[in-house]
Amino acid sequence: MKITDVQTVLLTGPCTNDPFLSETRKLRSAAFIEVHTDSELVGLGETYAGYFAPESVPSIVDFFKPILIGQTVDDIQELYTRMDHCGNFWCRVGLGLSVLNGIEAALWDLRGKQEGQPVHALLGGAKHDRILAYATGGSSNYPLDKLSRKIDHYLNLGFRAFKIGAGAYSIEHGFQIENAPDAAAAFEVAKMEHIRAHVGNDIGVMIDAHMGNAPTGQWDLETATAVLRALEPFGLIFFEEPLHYTDPWGYAELCKRTSLPVAGGECLTGISEWRTFVEKDCFDIGQPDASFTGGLSLVCEVASMLGARDRTIATHAWGAGGSLMQNVHVAFACPNTTVIEVPPDYGSLHSEIVGESFRMRDGSVLPPDTPGLGIALTEETKTRYPFIPGSGEFNSVPGKDLAEMDARLSR
């Protein structure tokens, strides 16, 4: 079986069926890579870059395509090394490596289909019988009674753990977050007191400050320290992204200052970037993304680096259906996975792609047993969700406002 073509498929569709997440985002874009062969088999992978900069993906895929034409998938690492070396000047980290991640995922999917095995088996086999799933809930929809309804929605879907954002979001006032240490700590404590009173102590809770992609400025080390120390009594599984990724030194110091596990890493790419954060002990829990970090094998390497320092991983997954399943397979292949992020009440760019391959029972994800990644992209789905230029997500600034763009495209 030899590769005959490599194609990019860009799509735009509903971001989610979650009525609470839908308040902040109506549409999502996605970029899939198809690896065609001289057989009936087609490999399919996703790059999370398609959620942010979809228009840039096809040209990068076309750059790498000649390296794959005529090759087999007997040695994926060799193909990856050739592509990586060819784009070495601009592909060591960042966008190029993220797109390469989607190509590599498609090669693993093709190999799994060829051998009749799920991808996690090709990556060394499942190390877990099941892994706790958490509903990734985006912002904290306010007022507090609305936040309670949001949490109940996730628990009614079968989740036993959930993550919400720091600060608050309301339709009337948009995103609001305190930045002064005492005010930020007091706000998050009041929120957690309400949450624990509502769900008790047996439900897993996480908070995400989104400081790698904050809509309203960034916390400094003193604010992050005040917030995390104040939340220590509430038994959170972790606190995510309390600082910006330009401050690994702050992350390292923060981990020393608090007993609350610090999580991060979703937007880091490449081993060199990850090593900076791992060797400084910036995270108690790393969050590599197997559709963005640089490859499924590379995520396993990141997990091994963290494991060697007695750290764990919680795979990040906020792409479409391919991204979800890529992260599920990697999560099962890594022995130090502690929890899996799952988009709750996901929309059709998940459901039509993952089909029945994603399985969750009693709040935990089960190992996939479908050959390959267990994903499929039909012609019907491609036709139903044609790509809309400009539908990628970005941080709003004067002249380029995400809410205005979302409203315009949703009409």
Radius of gyration of the chain (CA): 20
Among candidate residues 237, 236, 19, the one with its CA nearest the CA of residue 141: 19
- Percentage, residues of the chain above pLDDT 90: 93
Contact 107, 46 (CB under 8 A): no
Mean pLDDT over residues 315-343, rounded?
A: 98
Q: What amino acid occupies position 197?
A: A
- Confidence class for position 326, pLDDT limits 50, 70, 90: very high
Distance in Å from the first CA to the final CA of the chain: 45
Average pLDDT (179-203) is 98
Q: How do strand 238-240 and strand 204-208 relate by DSSP bridges?
A: parallel
Say yes or no to pLDDT of 217 above 90: no
The verdict on whether omega for the bond into residue 368 sits within 30 degrees of 0, i.e. cis, is no
What is the model's pLDDT at position 398?
Answer: 87
Of 259, 306, 265, 272, which Cα lies nearest the Cα of 288?
265
pLDDT at 215 > cutoff 80: no
Rounded-to-integer distance, Cα 288 and Cα 331, Å: 10
Pairing of β 262-264 and β 238-240: parallel
Structure tokens at 61: 């895929």
Question: In the chain, what are the domain boundaries?
Answer: 3-117+377-410, 121-365
DSSP 8-class letter at 29: E
- Interior angle at CA 112, CA 308 and CA 84, nearest 5: 60
Q: Contact 260/217 with Cβ under 8 angstroms?
A: no
Q: What is the rounded distance in angstroms from the CA atom of residue 132 to the CA atom of residue 19?
A: 23
pLDDT at 407 over 90: no
Would you say domain 121-365 falls under CATH 3.90.1200.10? no
pLDDT at 369: 97
Q: What pTM value is reported for the model? A: 0.97
The per-residue pLDDT of the chain, averaged, comes to 96
Q: At which residue do the structure tokens 């044609």 appear?
A: 386
| Largest distance between two CA atoms of the chain | 63
- Concatenate the DSSP letters of all residues of 132-157 into one string: EEEEE--S-BSSHHHHHHHHHHHHHT
Q: State pLDDT tens for residues 95-149.
A: 999 999 999 999 999 999 999 999 999 999 999 999 999 999 999 999 999 999 9
- The pLDDT value recorded for residue 225 is 98
What's the pLDDT band for 396 if we cut at 50, 70, 90? Answer: confident
- The residue-averaged pLDDT of 268-295 equals 98
d(CA 283, CA 358): 28
**Among candidate residues 129, 346, 134, 366, the one with its CA nearest the CA of residue 236:** 134
Class of domain 3-117+377-410: alpha beta
Helix (H, G, I), strand (E, B) or coil at 86: helix
Question: Within a 10 A sphere around the Cβ of 129, how many other Cβ atoms?
Answer: 9
Q: How does pLDDT run across 340-359, given as a tens digit for each residue?
A: 999 999 999 999 999 999 99
What confidence tens digit (pLDDT) does each residue in 145-190 have?
A: 999 999 999 999 999 999 999 999 999 999 999 999 999 999 999 9
DSSP 3-state assignment of 26? coil
Q: Is 10 left (phi over 0), alpha (psi -120 to 50) or beta?
A: beta
**How high is the pLDDT of residue 197?**
98
Indicate the pLDDT class of residue 48, thresholds 50, 70 and 90: very high
